[in-house]
């Protein structure tokens, strides 16, 4: 038997119901915040990720799915959403108008990671990218959008861990201080961090292996190396988050894995979940340098991404979602060929009016059809028989109260909609 590739999942049954529910909440809340849906390709030119995510990031060094197509082009399955959205913004010259662009996406991402619970090779993220404004009101909006969306899904005890990397000058000051501090300890760090010391020292701070070492606990904090402007900016972000009633904690260890971040960086966790790298539901940050780096247009950007696989895993532990079941509005029952012809029309009429309707296609007898209707949790049964049909009537049974009524065949749609 052919099995699915390692690190991928099939989403079926009740999990699929939860996925659909998450997708609908995502699109409703994104719309309320006035974000526009964007869809970019699942593969891009490899160079895009080398130049945005960064040659020295873990993602580009170890985790991308790279391949050559038949035209010998170097392509990469997207490992994250920001680079593609920024590429699209630049390619479509959307900078020509001074408007702010607020996008949201929802799609699969690919990273060659070691699969475990909550860590897959193909996973799905929804996220936003806001391009064109550097006002801290947007930092706060993006963070609160993510926070309130997870709250709407009844994920409790949420906390945003937030930090700032500051502007270019702050980052340079900080990097110098960090290198100076780490140099005497370099041999005590893990092999990856020894490499990061040369290539991407900020990443040492969120290393999962060295996470509890005293060296990292006592490392200099970005907050102490900020320019006045960067400090004032961060304070505004926090003040706005207070107004928006977002629970946050300033955590100097948050630096995020990708090269393109500056100023605000954040992750969101549920404190109900034991702290592991998989308990992080989402994260993001500002990337004011990225758009210039990719397209020589000096404009601002900020975004976040949340993993739906992890969100659904968490929802499955919540009482509210434990017994989610598929339900339909109507099950139409018939036996003879003549009744079937009426059934076809009635089913179609109900469906075209948005009533979730099913009928038999397995030649089951009435007993079997009653069973099937129960399995589908049908609210109403429409039971057709020739005698009533001749009088223009159908039997409708409320499957919960078990009450039955004869209804005029021409009024069946109105009757069902009125009683749902």
Name which position in 111, 185, 289, 342 contacts ligand AMP (CB under 6 A). Answer: 111
- Which lies closer to ligand AMP via its Cβ, residue 200 or residue 369? 200
Q: Can you tell me the distance from the alpha carbon of 240 to that of 369, in angstroms, rounded to the nearest whole number?
A: 57
Tokens linked to 193:
């961090």
Name which position in 35, 49, 123, 248 contacts ligand AMP (CB under 6 A). Answer: 123
Contact between 147 and ligand AMP per CB under 6 A: no
Contact between 309 and ligand AMP per CB under 6 A: yes
Q: What is the maximum span of the chain, computed from C-alpha positions, in angstroms?
A: 94
- Which lies closer to ligand AMP via its Cβ, residue 114 or residue 402? 114
Name which position in 54, 84, 282, 301 contacts ligand AMP (CB under 6 A). Answer: 282
Contact between 189 and ligand AMP per CB under 6 A: no
- Which lies closer to ligand AMP via its Cβ, residue 277 or residue 348? 277
Contact between 61 and ligand AMP per CB under 6 A: no
Q: How many CB atoms sit inside 10 A of residue 174's CB?
A: 22
Name which position in 30, 120, 153, 346 contacts ligand AMP (CB under 6 A). Answer: 120
Contact between 15 and ligand AMP per CB under 6 A: no
Contact between 201 and ligand AMP per CB under 6 A: no
Contact between 281 and ligand AMP per CB under 6 A: yes
- Which lies closer to ligand AMP via its Cβ, residue 89 or residue 110? 110
Pick the stretch among 180-188, 225-233, 303-311, 320-328 that binds ligand AMP (CB under 6 A): 303-311
Name which position in 136, 201, 283, 301 contacts ligand AMP (CB under 6 A). Answer: 283
In 3D, which of 130, 126, 149, 147 has the Cα closest to residue 138?
A: 130
Residues with Cβ < 8 Å from 278, sequence gap 6 or more? 116, 117, 118, 119, 310
The number of residues that bind ligand AMP (CB under 6 A) is 17
**CA-to-CA separations, 354 to 347, 351, 394, 410, in angstroms, rounded:** 11, 5, 20, 17
Compute the least distance from the CB of residue 127 to ligand AMP, in Å: 8
Name which position in 80, 141, 259, 360 contacts ligand AMP (CB under 6 A). Answer: 80
Q: 109-112 long-range CB contacts below 8 Å, 24 or more apart?
A: 109/78, 109/79, 109/80, 109/81, 110/42, 110/64, 110/65, 110/77, 110/78, 110/79, 111/59, 111/63, 111/64, 111/65, 111/79, 112/7, 112/62, 112/63, 112/64, 112/65
Compute the least distance from the CB of residue 281 to ligand AMP, in Å: 5
Rg (CA), the chain: 27
What is the 3-class SS of 146-198, one letter each residue? HHHHHHHCCCCCEEEEEEECCCHHHHHHHHHHHHHHHHHHHHHCCHHHHHHHH
In 3D, which of 238, 229, 251, 260 has the Cα closest to residue 144?
A: 238
Pick the stretch among 45-53, 183-191, 246-254, 302-310 that binds ligand AMP (CB under 6 A): 302-310
In 3D, which of 37, 115, 39 has the Cα closest to residue 78?
A: 39
Q: Which helix (H) or strand (E) segment is 57 a member of?
A: none
DSSP 9: -
Compute the least distance from the CB of residue 342 to ligand AMP, in Å: 49
Compute the least distance from the CB of residue 309 to ligand AMP, in Å: 5
Contact between 307 and ligand AMP per CB under 6 A: yes
Name which position in 46, 76, 125, 170 contacts ligand AMP (CB under 6 A). Answer: 125
Pick the stretch among 210-218, 247-255, 281-289, 339-347 that binds ligand AMP (CB under 6 A): 281-289
Residues with Cβ < 8 Å from 405, sequence gap 6 or more? 395, 396, 397
Name which position in 119, 231, 253, 297 contacts ligand AMP (CB under 6 A). Answer: 119
- Which lies closer to ligand AMP via its Cβ, residue 80 or residue 141? 80
Contacting residues toward ligand AMP, per CB under 6 A: 80, 111, 113, 118-120, 123, 125, 280-283, 305-307, 309-310
């Amino acid at each position: 038997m052919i099995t699915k590739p390692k690190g991928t999942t099939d989403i079926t049954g009740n999990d699929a119901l939860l996925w659909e529910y998450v997708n609908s909440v995502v699109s409703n809340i994104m719309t309320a915040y006035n974000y526009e849906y964007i869809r970019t390709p699942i593969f891009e030119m490899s160079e895009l990720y080398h130049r945005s995510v960064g040659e020295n990031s873990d993602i580009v060094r170890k985790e991308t799915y790279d391949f050559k197509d038949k035209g010998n082009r170097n392509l990469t399955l997207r490992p994250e959403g920001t680079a593609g959205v920024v590429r699209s913004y630049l390619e479509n010259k959307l900078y020509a108008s001074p408007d702010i662009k607020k996008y949201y996406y929802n799609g699969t991402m690919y990273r060659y990671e070691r699969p475990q619970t909550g860590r897959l090779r193909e996973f799905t993220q929804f996220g936003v990218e806001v391009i064109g404004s550097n006002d801290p009101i947007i930092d706060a909006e993006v963070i609160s959008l993510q926070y309130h969306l997870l709250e709407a899904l009844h994920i409790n005890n949420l906390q945003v861990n937030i930090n700032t990397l500051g502007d270019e000058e702050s980052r340079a000051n900080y990097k110098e201080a960090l290198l100076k501090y780490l140099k005497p300890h370099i041999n005590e760090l893990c092999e990856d961090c020894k490499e990061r010391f040369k290539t991407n020292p900020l990443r040492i701070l969120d290393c999962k292996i060295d996470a509890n070492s005293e060296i990292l606990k006592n490392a200099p904090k970005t907050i102490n190396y900020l320019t006045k402007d960067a400090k004032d900016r961060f304070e505004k972000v926090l003040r706005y988050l207070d107004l928006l009633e977002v629970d946050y904690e300033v955590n100097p260890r948050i630096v995020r894995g990708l090269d393109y971040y500056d100023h605000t960086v954040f992750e969101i966790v549920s404190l109900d979940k034991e702290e592991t790298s998989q308990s992080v539901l989402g994260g993001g940050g500002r990337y004011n340098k990225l758009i210039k780096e990719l397209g020589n247009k000096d404009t601002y950007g900020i975004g976040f991404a949340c993993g739906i696989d992890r969100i659904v895993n968490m929802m499955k532990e919540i009482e509210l979602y434990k017994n989610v079941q598929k339900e339909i509005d109507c099950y139409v029952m018939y036996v003879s060929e003549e009744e079937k012809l009426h059934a076809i029309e009635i089913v179609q009429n109900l469906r075209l009016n948005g009533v979730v309707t099913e009928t038999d296609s397995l030649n089951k007898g009435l007993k079997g059809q009653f069973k099937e209707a129960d399995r589908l949790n049908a609210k109403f049964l429409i039971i057709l028989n020739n005698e009533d049909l001749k009088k223009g009537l159908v039997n409708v049974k409320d499957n919960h109260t078990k009450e039955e009524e004869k209804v005029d065949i021409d009024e069946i749609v109105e009757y069902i909609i009125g009683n749902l």
